[in-house]
Every structure is written in C-alpha cells, then in structure tokens.
Amino acid sequence: MTEPVAVTRPPDDAQVTPGPRTMRAFGHVLANTAVANVTSSYLWWALTFWAYLETRSVLATAIIGGSYMLLVAALGVVFGVIVDRLKKKAVMVLSSLVTLTTYLLAGALYLSFPESVLVNWGGPWFWVFAGVILVGGVVENMRNIALSTTVTLLVPADRRDRANGLVGAVQGIAFMVTSVFSGLSIGLLGMGWTVVIAIAATAAALVHLLFVPLPEQGVAHVEGEAPKNVGFRGVIPAVVAVPGLLALILFSTFNNLVGGVFMALMDPYGLTLFSVEVWGIVLGVTSIGFILGGGLVAKFGLGKNPVRTLLLVNVGIALLGMTFAIREWWWLYALGVLVFMCLMPIAEAAEQTIVQRVVPFEKQGRVFGFAASMESAAAPVSSFLVGPLAQFWLIPFMNSQPGRDSFGWLLGPGEARGIALAFVGGSVVLLVVVLLAFVSPPYRRLSAAYAAAPPSLPAAD
C-alpha cells in the first residue's frame, strides 16, 4: 500500500461531514440526475431507432454507437479533470448547458433540410445531424462522473455501495421511461417532434438543477498543486498508486470490447423480432432489470469483496450472452435482456465502490474519467468491426446452406442467425477471460488493497 496522499485545505473544508443533511442533498442530486438521464437518453435512443428504420443498415447503427463510445473515450479524462477542478454542481450545470445547445442545433438542422436529405446515410448531413446529437449525449457523461464523486462527498463510507445501487436503480428508471417513449415517439410522431420534446425536457432539467442544493464549501487540491493546474499528469499516478486498480480497469476495458458486440447488434436483433413501437416497449419493460439490480445492491450491498462480486457478475453476463439468442424466440430474447439489465448495475456499483474506497476524494474525478476513457475506447473497436462483419459476412453466411449446415444445430433457423452467432462468439471469449482473471495476481492484490483501505478517505485530513 502506498502512503496516503497529503492534501491542502481550502479556506473552507472541501468535504463536508456525511450525515442526514448530506444524504438529503444526495437524494436531490440523484433525482435531478434521473431527469437529466431521461432527457439525454430519450433522443439518443430515438436516433438509433430512426437511423436503423430509415436506412435498414446494421453498419450505420454500428458506426453511430461506436462513435458515441469513441467520443466518451476521447473526452473521459478531460471530463474527470474538470470534475476534480470545479465544484460538482457547476460541472452538472455546464453539462446541461452544452447538451441543451447541441439539441437546439439539431432542431435547427432538422428544420433546415428535408428529411429525405437527413436520412441519406451516404451523405454528409445524416452524419452531421447524428453527430450533434451524439455530442449532447456524450457531455452527459461529465455529469455522471460528478455524480460518482458526490457519493463519496455526501454518503457515509459504510453506505456507499448501497448508494451506488440506488444510482443504478435510478438510471434503470430513466432507461425504462426513455426506451418506451423513444420507440413510441419515433413510431407515432417522427424524428422532428422527438427533437422538440428533447429540447423542452432538457431545458426543464436545467432549470430544476439550478434549485438543487449541494453542500460544497470548496474544492480539494493535492498538496503542491495550484488550483489552476489542469492535472493531467496526475491521472496515471493516481491509478497505479493502488495495487491491482490498473488491472481492474484493463479487465473492464476488455469487458467493454466484448460489450461492443452487444452495443452494435442488440437493437438490430430486437428490431428483427419486433416492430419499433413494440421493441421500445420491450426495452422499457425489461429495463425493470436495472431497477431490480440496483435495488438488490441498495438492499444487501456488494459483500466484503466487491472485486469478487464484479467478476462473478461477468461470468453471468458471459453465460447469458451464449444463450439468450440461441433460438429466434421473442420471449427468450426479452428474458435475456431483462437478466442482462439486472446484472449491469451490480457490476457498475461494484467498480464505483472499489474506486471510492481506495482512491482519495480529490483524485476520484480523474480516475473515474480515466476508467471511462479506457473502457469506452474498447467498445468502438469491436463495434466498428462487428458491424461490417455481421453485415457482409455473418448474416449472409448464416442465411446460406453452408452456414445452416455448420451452425444450424446450435442456433436453429431464422433470418437473424448471423447476429446470434456474433453474440455466442463474443460471450465465449468473455467467459475465458473472466475465469483467467479469478486466478490472476492483480485480483488478489486489489482485493487485499480494498480490505486494507480505511473506510473513508477524507479530502482535508
């Protein structure tokens, strides 16, 4: 274990003492984040549905999804440093302002061009329109990094895993609402009115945020660093100072590499089985899994070793990916999506709880940002690869007689067997890597570091 990092104290304490008052403030922040997540994911989901329905191209949706993750990867460290250098509420307000601006620009583009021009994914304006919306969604990640640090700021140490479970549950509620309304909005209203609704909802969320109380008295700074220092050089040392933490981030990075397969193909597979309106409703119903998973963490916590919990959850995800598309049955796929969404907030809460325990508060923003960059950088790679691979090889292969002869015994008949083959292949690779991680030295080192860390790492001690 490394020695605790000394920090300077600003004129007022940067970190208030967690208690009932700060827990009420955390509830306000959590509720406002739910509103913000609804507004950003509503238009993001709608864009994905609209792009696939208008282009019928798996490649187009893969590029859109991969571009989103690529932007998150490129800006994650920047967002993390901003979170460390500003008050958390100021970061959230900044995020909402940028998102509102980009959505207004998207609305202006929609009014400036006929829809026939915007849906031509071979032309530039389709990608300009999609890119503007993507930027608005990506900036929302800065708010999510800030929320992770407010858990450390406002929640007592022995309740942080449960607070992270509440974060997952609230995000699940937002996902449930937006997935239903995005599908219905595209199916019944079209993209134009969907953009209008997103603009109005984003503006309302920003106004609400201005009245949310957040008890911050200052900004913590590492000793020897001036407040104006951007702090990029402190990112890697903050990560490697904790034994096994870099290995955890690298494991999550590989996990996202496999997750890119799901990101690129889950919507096309769902839209093969369901109409867009029904698929939106299916996503809304199955997103109850987010609430269930987050609720389980909020009720029971993550156990004594969240590192072990994280790996066990990934074993479950791998087994799930090998089975939920094994046959082209709508109920099997819907059930699989439900279980997948139940597992995801548990994994996310485990990773956040580990970082909040072993990393000093004043460095958590950049560590969360670095983790987001590393993990998100992997998904575009697999997304950009699996989109063309599925479009031009797997789907035609599985629709041919040689493909049916080779894998028909495993995957059965149907028009989306190529997508199912991609799910199974990626999940097998994930399972092998998780089993290897269980017997690795970094797993033991990080588990020991978590157990040895003090329950609270105050920013002004």
Domain count, the chain: 1
Identify the DSSP state of 390: I
Written as one string, the DSSP assignment of 400-419 is SHHHHHHHHHHH-SSTTHHH
Q: Which residues contact 456 (CB under 8 A, 6 or more apart)?
A: 156, 157
Q: In this structure, is residue 444 part of a structural domain?
A: yes
Written as one string, the DSSP assignment of 266-295 is HHHHHHHHS-HHHHHHHHHHHTHHHHHHHH
Query: Can you tell me the distance from the alpha carbon of 153 to that of 88, in angstroms, rounded to the nearest whole number?
Result: 10
Please give the pLDDT value at position 381.
Answer: 65
Q: In this structure, is residue 7 part of a structural domain?
A: no
Residues of the chain where predicted confidence (pLDDT) is lower than 50: 1-14, 221-230, 456-461
Q: In this structure, is residue 282 part of a structural domain?
A: yes
Burial 284-295 (b: 16+ CB within 10 A, else e): bebbbbbbbbbb
Note whether 10 and 218 are within 8 A (CB). Answer: yes
Nearest to 177 by CA among 71, 249, 104, 283: 283
SS3 13: coil
Helix axes 20-55, 58-85, angle to 10 degrees: 160
Q: In this structure, is residue 9 part of a structural domain?
A: no
pTM, rounded to two decimals: 0.67
Nearest to 208 by CA among 42, 33, 41: 33
Identify the DSSP state of 222: E
What is the phi/psi pair of residue 222, to 5°?
Answer: -70, 140
Nearest to 167 by CA among 146, 189, 138, 183: 146
Q: In this structure, is residue 194 part of a structural domain?
A: yes
Q: In this structure, is residue 225 part of a structural domain?
A: no
Identify the DSSP state of 5: P
Structure tokens at 203: 């503006």
Return the CATH number at 440. Answer: 1.20.1250.20
Q: In this structure, is residue 357 part of a structural domain?
A: yes
What is the phi/psi pair of residue 445, to 5°?
Answer: -65, -45
Quickly count: other Cβ atoms within 10 Å of residue 306's Cβ: 25
Query: Can you tell me the distance from the alpha carbon of 360 to that of 205, in angstroms, rounded to the nearest whole number?
Result: 31
Q: Distance from CA of residue 450 to its chain's centroid? A: 24
Please give the pLDDT value at position 217.
Answer: 60
Q: In this structure, is residue 458 part of a structural domain?
A: no
Note whether 75 and 294 are within 8 A (CB). Answer: no
Written as one string, the DSSP assignment of 16-67 is PPPSHHHHHHHHHHHHHHHHHHHHHHHHHHHHHHHHHHHH--HHHHHHHHHH
Please give the pLDDT value at position 461.
Answer: 35
Range of the domain at 322: 15-220+230-452
Query: Can you tell me the distance from the alpha carbon of 338 to that of 349, in angstroms, rounded to the nearest whole number?
Result: 18
